[in-house]
Homo-oligomer: A and B are copies of this chain.
Amino acid sequence: MAELITIDDPDDPRLHDYTGLTDVELRRRREPAEGLFIAEGEKVIRRARDAGYEMRSMLLSAKWVDVMRDVIEESTAPVYAVTPALAEQVTGYHVHRGALASLERKQLPPAEELLRGARRVAVLESLVDHTNIGAIFRSAAALGMDAVLLSPDCADPLYRRSVKVSMGAVFSVPYARLDSWPRDLETVREAGFRLLALTPDEKATPLDTVAPHRLDRVALMLGAEGDGLSARALRAADEWVRIPMAHGVDSLNVGAAAAVSFYAVATGRPQD
């Protein structure tokens, strides 16, 4: 069983994993460098544990020590019991959900490994918004995408906000980062995938007529909110596809576009 340690000094070095959580720039550098990530709220912490992430510690206010009793009992990581006020001093914000955990990152698998067993993958280019990353993982999990591949400059799926918005789907949908962009798309093609680039371009094939679910293996490429896929990424694709839009409307939000296209490549897929 984990050791339960009451802490009342906000400068206690054991709380280091949880300091300055509202400083996005700082945390974005620190967390990958230190090999950790933060999960927030009972449900998300449980999902991280169930997905096999190793606990470094938990930071709980009194009420949550009871709720998380079973997790504490089966863990060996220290549990820091603090007042809500101290939690706020350390993290920089009022921790509504009263429970934080610091967990060890795992080594990401190489893309080749993920592609081996997959039939439907999403490939994201330059998505820097943590909310959008989280939303896309949540939809990917619900709509049965097998994996997500990220361009080198995509935001971190394990950043606290991404984890939260995804409702923990970042733990269940396997993902990998491509090292060289867009060159590594060749790896995806060599693994037998047809690369479909989502774009509002009029020349693209409407998604409902391309029948992507009839294809054996599909990689669906999505670009960032606003600009969409880069010209280089579009050139590297096998085919351009578009979601049919009403006249005079710019585009869908990238989260909505992802959900629609995941649905389109899944629909009609033979039952597993």
A positions within 8 Å CB-CB of B: 135, 138-139, 141-144, 167, 169, 172, 208, 243-246, 248-253, 255-260, 263-264, 266-268
Contact indicator B250/A167 (Cβ below 8 Å) = yes
Q: Which of B139, B167, B249, B255 contacts A169 (CB 8 A)?
A: B249
Contact A245 B142 (CB under 8 A): yes
The reply to whether B249 and A141 contact each other, CB–CB distance below 8 Å, is yes
Residues of B contacting A249 in the complex (Cβ-Cβ under 8 angstroms): 141-142, 169, 172
**A266-B244, A267-B208 known; A138-B252 Cβ under 8 A:** yes
Which B residues lie within 8 Å of A246 (CB)? 141-144
Closest B residue to A259 by beta carbon equals B256
* B255–A267 touching, CB < 8 Å: no
Contacts of A250 in B (CB 8 A): 142, 167
A266 contact set on B, CB distance < 8 A = 244
Provide the residues of chain B in CB contact with A141, threshold 8 Å. 246, 249
Contact of A256 among B138, B251, B268 (CB under 8 A): B138
Is the CB–CB distance between A268 and B208 below 8 Å?
Answer: yes
Q: How far, in whole Å, are A256 and B268 apart by their CA atoms in the complex? A: 19
Q: How far is the CA of A43 from the CA of B55 in the complex (A)?
A: 46
- Complex-state Cα separation, A138 to B267, whole angstroms: 23
B-chain residues with CB within 8 Å of residue A138 when the two chains form the complex:
252-253, 256
> Can you name 27 A-B pairs with beta carbons within 8 Å?
A135-B255, A135-B256, A138-B252, A138-B256, A139-B252, A139-B256, A141-B249, A142-B245, A142-B249, A142-B251, A142-B256, A143-B243, A143-B244, A143-B245, A143-B246, A143-B252, A144-B244, A167-B250, A172-B249, A208-B268, A244-B267, A252-B259, A256-B259, A257-B259, A260-B260, A260-B263, A263-B263
Residue of B whose beta carbon sits closest to that of A260: B263
